[in-house]
Homo-oligomer: A and B are copies of this chain.
Amino acid sequence: MANHRVVVVGSGFAGLQLVLDLKGAPADITLIDRRNHHLFQPLLYQVATTLLATSEIAWPVRRLFRDRPEVKTVLGDVVGVDRETKTVRLRDGGVIPYDTLVLATGARHAYFGHDEWEAFAPGLKTLEDATTIRRRVLLAFERAELETDPETRQAQLTFAIIGGGPTGVELAGIIAELAHRTLVDEFRSIDTRSARILLIEAGPRILPVFTPDMSDYGAKALTELGVTVRTGVPVTDISADGVRIGEEFVPARTVLWAAGVQASRAAEWLGAPADRAGRAIVEPDLTVAGAPDVFVIGDTASVTTADGKPVPGVAPAAKQQGAHVARIIRNRLTGKPAPGPFVYRHQGNLATIGRSRAVVDFGRIKLKGALAWWVWGIAHIYFLIGTRSRFAVAWSWLWIFMSGQHSARLITQKETLKD
């Protein structure tokens, strides 16, 4: 008899961990993703802000499993699941049968019903998003250098970042350092220090998953870097000219979105119940109700811990879910009893502020400032996949640290100017 067929959709943290942990299990694994690479999303903001190159935080999935002949990597775009025939449908017409299906298709940014904002305020989920943001930020300075009208110039030098979570804080901090340090000597007509960086959070404080004390520290550290932190007022409109905060209109030619996510369509494909963010509501063992052979994990799953709290959409949670489902599948295939329900172990919250400070909350251990930044940096180097990337990122950071210069300041991807 042929091996049990496990089909995994998505090679983010959840899907990758699952496949890694299924090593040696009697299963043929097909790993499908629209991209050819696994992306280390926690450092994506550094690509967007010229600190790292794309290839330093992404690796071809195929390469990661070259020594696992039972793993087949498919570059494909899933458009549906047929639970009757137990197949996954690809956009190009391909049909892939499964015995066990794991959907780990992640999330995209969401604009709370204002999809028209996306054109003016790009979010940060893919490598292309990151190079788009990098291009916009760098071009803003270039355009301001050539602008003669003072008002237009100020709008070009105003950067509004929407969303005060870790991503928004990280983007705002590095952009402020670009303007106030890195680029200062390079322009002749403008003083880049006159740039205005706004971090806008609708809630009462930034970094809401941290303690109020750490939020305060973060706001203070950002202010010192030159960021204007605005809390308690929602964004009511975004256009090509700027952003409306409550009633006030702020001219800003660069607006970045770090405010919300929407799950992928996994729940829709399955006809499964979903929460408001579109995440499939799963059973305690991460299966879909009534389908013990279908799992949903990672950012596209709505999982609740035993104490009724939602599991956050962070990399460690995704990896734990991938590991848990691998255990279930392996036990089923080898006739062992099922493990208990999924239990989320929170490892802590981390966020950096600029290039030398951070806040780290490991529960009992709480750190802020330079030491926290080192803890953050070492943790991220450690979790990077692949020896070379660890060295490459460490080297890039060391270089930036020593020279003060960013290395990935290229405007690419689209023609910067019309031919």
Contact = CB atoms under 8 A, between A and B. Distances in A.
Interface of A: 34-37, 53-56, 58-60, 62-63, 65-67, 69, 72-77, 91-92, 94, 127-128, 131, 138-139, 142, 145-146, 183, 185-189, 388, 391-392, 395, 399, 403, 405, 407-419
B34 A417 contact: yes
20 contacts: A35-B416, A36-B416, A37-B411, A53-B55, A54-B412, A55-B407, A55-B408, A59-B409, A62-B183, A62-B187, A69-B188, A74-B145, A75-B139, A75-B145, A75-B411, A75-B416, A77-B417, A91-B418, A128-B412, A128-B414
A58 B410 contact: yes
A63 to B, nearest CB: 6
Contact of A142 (B36, B58, B392, B415): B36
Contacts of A76: 146, 417
B188 A409 contact: no
A66 B403 contact: no
A188 to B, nearest CB: 4
A139 B62 CA distance: 13
Q: What is the oligomeric copy number?
A: 2
A411 to B, nearest CB: 5
Contacts of A187: 62
A77 B418 contact: yes
A220 to B, nearest CB: 30
B67 A411 contact: no
A36 B138 contact: yes
Given A35-B411, A75-B416, 18 more contacts: A37-B409, A37-B410, A53-B54, A53-B55, A54-B410, A54-B412, A55-B409, A55-B410, A60-B186, A60-B409, A63-B409, A72-B188, A74-B145, A75-B417, A76-B146, A127-B412, A392-B407, A395-B395
Contacts of A185: 66-67
A127 B412 CA distance: 7
A91 B419 CA distance: 9
B388 A403 contact: yes
A74 B417 CA distance: 12
Contacts of A139: 75
A403 B392 CA distance: 15
A63 B186 contact: yes
Nearest to A69: B188
A407 B66 CA distance: 15
A364 to B, nearest CB: 39
Q: Which 6 pairs between the two chains have the least Cβ-Cβ distance?
A: A75-B142, A77-B417, A53-B55, A55-B408, A62-B186, A66-B185
A157 to B, nearest CB: 15
Given A388-B407, A403-B388, A73 B186 contact: yes
A416 B34 contact: yes
Contacts of A58: 410
Nearest to A34: B417
Contacts of A403: 388
Contacts of A67: 185
Contact of A146 (B66, B74, B189): B74
Given A62-B186, A146-B76, A412-B131, A91 B55 contact: no
A167 B376 CA distance: 43
A47 to B, nearest CB: 10
